[in-house]
């Protein structure tokens, strides 16, 4: 059954996201997509959707939504204490929603971003084959913007064969959930960046041995880090080149910036390291004031960790009732 969702309160910053639109960087279009792709995939699987079905990504404070028809919903990622008509909907689980019911989410108790998936997925006009919202360029999603009160979201036809409550097994969550307790230090595994050998030894040691805090000026384009400044080579200037997701740039002031899902496709600051693919969901769950350290690993280790994450994701899809 398809229907609509009314946005009563959008939360702090809620957008429609899927797995993104890769392959267009050459024309300056960011891939965008869900900040925490693991949370999106599992939310969709819990809701009975394909992995890349459009869903809602909520940041720091979740929204409140009314369903005009029966549905089946799942919430993953940051713990925003979701409820359905006042009844708790635990994180990393799915449950039916009656017609006329209200699903409400609050402030994240841990982590930064939660995903709300609905059986059938959200129906919005695709841009370059994707529903992902890229707010800086006002592309995709719902009019290229974050949700507002009064918005109406259309749902696709759901195909859930057994719409009973289910959840990700708790013994598997440790390998998948990337939310850290407030105040905890998050270690991000990185590989050597393309300009790493241009930094002097002191700068490399400082980067590897320092703790940084996430600035309040951070967003989906990039996380600005506050801490000991790392002296960049050549004063931080270089010829502009393509920039990948997870690249850690060092601008002239020496404060590292982690390029994230809405990042610009080119840049002119040296990259000292790149966050491994397996730890990008952990970046998504960092909040302002969050504490970060870096640990350099080899490309072979990064590939092994990514294979292990993929295996854990498949195992977690055998849901518990």
Domain-wise residue ranges, the chain: 4-166, 185-316
Q: Look at 252 and 164; give whichever has higher pLDDT.
A: 252
Burial degree of 110 (CB within 10 A; 0-12, 13-18, 19+): middle
- In the predicted structure, residue 270 carries a pLDDT above the cut 90: yes
- pLDDT of 321 > 80? The answer is no
Q: Could you tell me the sign of the dihedral formed by the alpha carbons of 312, 318, 320, 321, in that order?
A: positive
Distances from the Cα of 313 to the Cαs of 18, 38, 77, in angstroms? Answer: 17, 8, 14
CB atoms within 10 A of CB 148: 12
What digits encode the pLDDT tens for the residues 294-317? 999 999 999 999 999 999 998 888
Return the structure tokens found at 95.
């449950």
Give CA–CA dist 232/204, Å, rounded.
10
Residue 159: its pLDDT value, please? 65
The pLDDT mean for the chain works out to 93
Apex 257 CA angle, 201 and 54, nearest 5? 140
Place 73 in a pLDDT band, splitting at 50, 70 and 90. very high
- Structure tokens that stand for 177 in this block: 């959930």
CA 129 and chain centroid, separation: 19
Q: How many residues does the chain have?
A: 321
Is pLDDT at 202 greater than 90 in this prediction?
yes
Residue 60 has pLDDT above 90, yes or no: yes
Cα(201)–Cα(14) distance, integer angstroms: 42
pLDDT at residue 165 in the model: 82
Task: Give the C-alpha separation, 30 to 35, whole Å.
Answer: 13
What is the pLDDT confidence band of residue 290, given thresholds at 50, 70 and 90? Answer: very high
| Closest to 294 in 3D by CA, of 231, 248, 262, 263 | 248
Exposure of 143 in the CB half-sphere (CA atoms within 13 A): 7
Please say whether the beta carbons of 250 and 269 come within 8 A.
yes
**Contact between residue 237 and residue 252 where contact means Cβ atoms under 8 Å apart:** yes
pLDDT of amino acid 27: 86
Buried residues in 56-73 as b, exposed as e (16+ CB within 10 A) = bbbbbbbbbbbbeebbbb
Neighbours of 171 (CB within 10 A): 10
Under the banding of pLDDT at 50, 70 and 90, the label for residue 182 is confident
Average pLDDT value for residue range 252-268: 95
Rounded Cα distance between 102 and 9, Å, is 11
Q: 161 pLDDT exceeds 60?
A: no
CATH of domain 185-316: 2.40.100.10
Say if residues 204 and 171 touch (Cβ distance below 8 Å): no
- When pLDDT is averaged across residues 1-18 and rounded to a whole number, the result is 93
Does residue 1 have a pLDDT over 60?
no
pLDDT score of 174: 78
């Amino acid at each position: 059954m398809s229907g609509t969702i009314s946005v009563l309160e959008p939360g702090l910053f809620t957008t429609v996201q899927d797995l993104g639109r890769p392959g267009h960087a050459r024309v300056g279009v960011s891939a965008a997509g869900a900040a925490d792709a693991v949370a999106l995939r599992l939310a969709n699987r819990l809701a009975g959707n394909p992995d890349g079905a459009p869903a809602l990504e909520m940041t720091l404070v979740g929204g409140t939504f009314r369903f005009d028809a029966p549905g089946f919903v799942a919430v993953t990622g940051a713990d925003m204490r979701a409820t359905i008509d006042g009844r708790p909907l635990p994180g990393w689980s799915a449950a039916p929603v009656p017609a006329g019911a209200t699903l409400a989410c609050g402030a994240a108790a841990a982590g930064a971003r939660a995903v709300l998936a609905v059986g059938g997925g959200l129906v919005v006009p695709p841009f370059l084959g994707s529903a992902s919202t890229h707010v800086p360029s006002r592309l995709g999603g719902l009019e290229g913007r974050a949700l507002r009160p009064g918005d109406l979201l259309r749902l696709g036809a759901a195909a859930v064969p057994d719409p009973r409550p289910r959840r990700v097994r708790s013994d598997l969550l440790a390998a998948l959930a990337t939310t850290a307790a407030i105040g905890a230090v998050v270690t991000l595994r990185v590989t050597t960046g393309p300009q790493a050998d241009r930094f002097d030894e002191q700068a490399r040691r400082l980067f590897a041995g320092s703790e940084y805090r996430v600035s309040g000026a951070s967003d989906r384009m990039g996380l600005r880090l506050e801490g000991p400044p790392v002296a960049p080579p050549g004063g931080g200037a270089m010829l502009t080149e393509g920039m990948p997701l997870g690249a850690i740039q060092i601008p002239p002031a020496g404060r590292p910036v982690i390029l994230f899902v809405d990042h610009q496709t080119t840049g002119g600051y040296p990259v000292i390291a790149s966050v491994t693919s397996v730890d990008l969901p952990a970046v998504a769950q960092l909040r302002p004031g969050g504490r970060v350290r870096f640990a350099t690993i080899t490309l072979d280790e990064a590939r092994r960790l990514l294979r292990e994450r993929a295996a854990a994701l498949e195992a977690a899809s055998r849901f518990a009732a």
